């Protein structure tokens, strides 16, 4: 890494740029970012450590492998919904009807699959299509009628809830057969050990591969690169953490398929947001919609895609929730589902103000939210207290978001 005497690299030619290289450089860059209010994943990590310490001292069962497996089973449904919320939050919009949408979707599954005998996959397709339609309507209301999304989706909240109750009829609840693949998926199915091990090794391997190839290409183009040591350390830490997680969960039942599918969705959305033109346009519209429009981006289409994606993911989350509970009931999607999903996205680091965030925030945020909910349940606290505490956690997350935003503004980062 001692190439200081050669011709300066393209992006290091300016004497005002600090030449951050290797591990020390990466650490210094991270420290600078945090200080200027670019907190990234830091609040989540701190939050998780705090939560684990507090709940484990109150009830040691909290960290037991099987309890964590249950936690992951619970996290998948809300996590999928939160993933959709990330999409709308990135644009500075909101969808308050995600809970109702997920409830409606589980009612659709119940009516189509259990009551009418439609094949399961077709029923799931129908539920997701219903979600896409609802999202399309929100998009049209926002684009063509300039209706603020919180009003449109607030009215959607009530309308969808009404539709859910109508579909479920007087009985109010449809039970799903315990031997069916859907319920097994939601309650029992665990990845085989070899597969979870491969999946634990995969991200690190991918990181090294893309890291090295990017480094080669950057060097060929005379651009600076972060250095092999940084890539290796990052990949090593990640792989070690994932392997430990898989090992620890395998002391219990293992890694749930449901959670694996959820993580797959997160990875796919992360790729779409960071590596495609669509993702870049999402951030641009969230940061400055008028500038995006003048750059030739079809702002309406981007908004439409975000609303459709959000409602579709909420519908799929509803299917997951139905699988978890083995029933479609009037309570599905009610209560704290809405708030949990939005809180998860915000806690994970997606800004309510648009233009900042990532798909991983849904994953990390939902683990925090579910850990709190799980811990409080272990303490035998009633849902009244759980609601109050979850509400307070969301408030704290928003305060952290706002303060970080102010700090970014004062240190010249959007």
Partner 1 sequence: MSDGASKKGDLILRLRGVSKQFGAVTALSDIELDIHAGEVVALVGDNGAGKSTLVKVLAGVHQPTAGTIEYLGKQVALDTPGKAIDMGIATVFQDLALCENLDVVANLFLGREMNPWRMDEVQMEVRAWTLLKELAARIPSVREPVASLSGGQRQTVAIARSLLSDPHIIMLDEPTAALGVAQTAEVLNLIERVRDRGHGVILISHNMEDVRAVADRIVVLRLGANNGVFTPESSHQDLVAAITGASENSVSRRMARKLETAGE
Q: Applying CB under 8 A, does 92 fall inside the site for partner 1? A: no
| Residue among 117 and 296 whose Cβ is closer to partner 1 | 296
Considering only residues 206 through 225, tell me which ones interact with partner 1, judged by CB under 8 A.
214, 217-218, 221-223
Q: Where are the alpha helices (DSSP H) in 91-227?
A: 98-109, 120-145, 149-168, 181-187, 193-220
Q: How far is CA 101 from CA 50, 172, 191, 313, 382, in A?
A: 33, 17, 29, 9, 26
Q: What is the dihedral of CA 143, 146, 149, 153, to 10 degrees?
A: -90
Q: Applying CB under 8 A, does 284 fall inside the site for partner 1? A: yes
Stretch that binds partner 1, among 44-52, 152-160, 260-268, 285-293 (CB under 8 A): 285-293
| Residue among 3 and 237 whose Cβ is closer to partner 1 | 3
| Alpha-carbon 214 to chain mean position | 26
**Near partner 1 by CB under 8 A: residue from 145, 296, 380, 382:** 296
Report residue 307 as tokens: 């609303």
Q: Applying CB under 8 A, does 306 fall inside the site for partner 1? A: no
Q: Applying CB under 8 A, does 293 fall inside the site for partner 1? A: yes
Q: Applying CB under 8 A, does 39 fall inside the site for partner 1? A: no
* Rounded least distance, CB 202 to partner 1, Å: 19
* Rounded least distance, CB 131 to partner 1, Å: 25
* Rounded least distance, CB 272 to partner 1, Å: 9
**Residue spans of beta strands (DSSP E) within 331-407:** none
- Total interface residues for partner 1 by CB under 8 A: 38
Q: How far is CA 178 from CA 115, 186, 253, 262, 356, in A?
A: 15, 10, 19, 22, 42
Q: Applying CB under 8 A, does 14 fall inside the site for partner 1? A: yes
**Near partner 1 by CB under 8 A: residue from 52, 288, 330, 407:** 288
Report residue 206 as tokens: 């991918």
Report residue 136 as tokens: 């399309």
Q: Applying CB under 8 A, does 7 fall inside the site for partner 1? A: no
**Near partner 1 by CB under 8 A: residue from 243, 280, 330, 378:** 280
Residue from 175, 196, 181, 177 nearest 69 by CA? 196
Q: Applying CB under 8 A, does 117 fall inside the site for partner 1? A: no
Considering only residues 373 through 412, tell me which ones interact with partner 1, judged by CB under 8 A.
408-409, 412
Rounded to the nearest 10 degrees, the angle between the axes of helix 65-90 and helix 337-347 is: 80
| Residue among 142 and 408 whose Cβ is closer to partner 1 | 408
Where do contacts with partner 1 occur on this chain (CB under 8 A)? 10-11, 14, 16-17, 214, 217-218, 221-223, 275-278, 280-281, 283-284, 286-288, 290-298, 355-356, 408-409, 412-414
């Amino acid at each position: 890494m001692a190439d200081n005497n050669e011709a300066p690299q393209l992006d290091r030619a300016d004497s005002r740029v600090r030449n951050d290289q290797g591990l020390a450089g990466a650490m210094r860059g991270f420290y600078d970012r945090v200080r200027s209010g670019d907190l990234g994943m830091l609040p989540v990590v701190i939050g998780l450590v705090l939560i684990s310490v507090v709940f484990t001292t109150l009830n040691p069962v909290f960290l037991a492998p099987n309890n964590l497996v249950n936690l992951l089973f619970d996290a998948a449904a809300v996590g999928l919904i939160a993933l959709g919320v990330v999409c709308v939050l990135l644009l500075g919009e909101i969808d308050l009807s995600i809970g109702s949408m997920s409830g409606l979707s589980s009612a659709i599954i119940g009516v189509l699959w259990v009551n009418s005998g439609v094949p399961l996959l077709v029923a799931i397709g129908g539920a997701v299509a219903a979600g896409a339609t609802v999202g399309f309507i929100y998009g049209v209301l926002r684009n063509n009628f300039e209706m603020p999304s919180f009003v449109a989706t607030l009215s959607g909240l009530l309308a969808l809830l009404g539709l859910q109750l109508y579909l479920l009829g007087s009985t109010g609840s449809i039970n799903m057969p315990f031997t069916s693949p859907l319920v097994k998926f939601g309650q029992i199915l665990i990845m085989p050990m070899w597969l979870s091990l491969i999946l634990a090794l995969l991200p690190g391997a991918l990181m090294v591969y893309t890291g090295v190839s990017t480094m080669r290409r950057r060097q060929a183009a005379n651009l600076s690169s972060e250095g092999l040591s940084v890539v290796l350390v990052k990949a090593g830490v990640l792989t070690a953490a994932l392997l430990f997680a898989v090992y620890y969960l395998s002391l219990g039942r293992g890694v749930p398929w449901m959670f694996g599918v959820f993580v797959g969705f997160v990875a796919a959305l992360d790729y779409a947001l960071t590596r495609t033109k669509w993702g870049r346009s999402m951030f641009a519209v969230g940061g400055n919609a008028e500038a995006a429009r003048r750059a030739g981006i079809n702002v309406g289409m981007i908004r439409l895609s975000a609303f459709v994606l959000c409602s579709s993911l909420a519908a799929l989350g509803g299917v997951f929730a139905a699988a978890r509970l083995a029933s479609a009931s009037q309570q599905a999607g009610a209560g704290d589902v809405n708030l949990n999903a939005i809180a998860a996205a915000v806690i994970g680091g997606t800004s309510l103000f648009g233009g900042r965030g990532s798909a991983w925030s849904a994953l990390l945020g939902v683990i925090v939210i579910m850990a709190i909910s799980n811990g409080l349940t272990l303490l035998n606290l009633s849902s009244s207290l759980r609601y109050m505490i979850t509400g307070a956690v969301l408030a704290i997350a928003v305060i952290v978001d706002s303060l970080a935003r102010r700090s970014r503004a004062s240190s010249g980062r959007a």
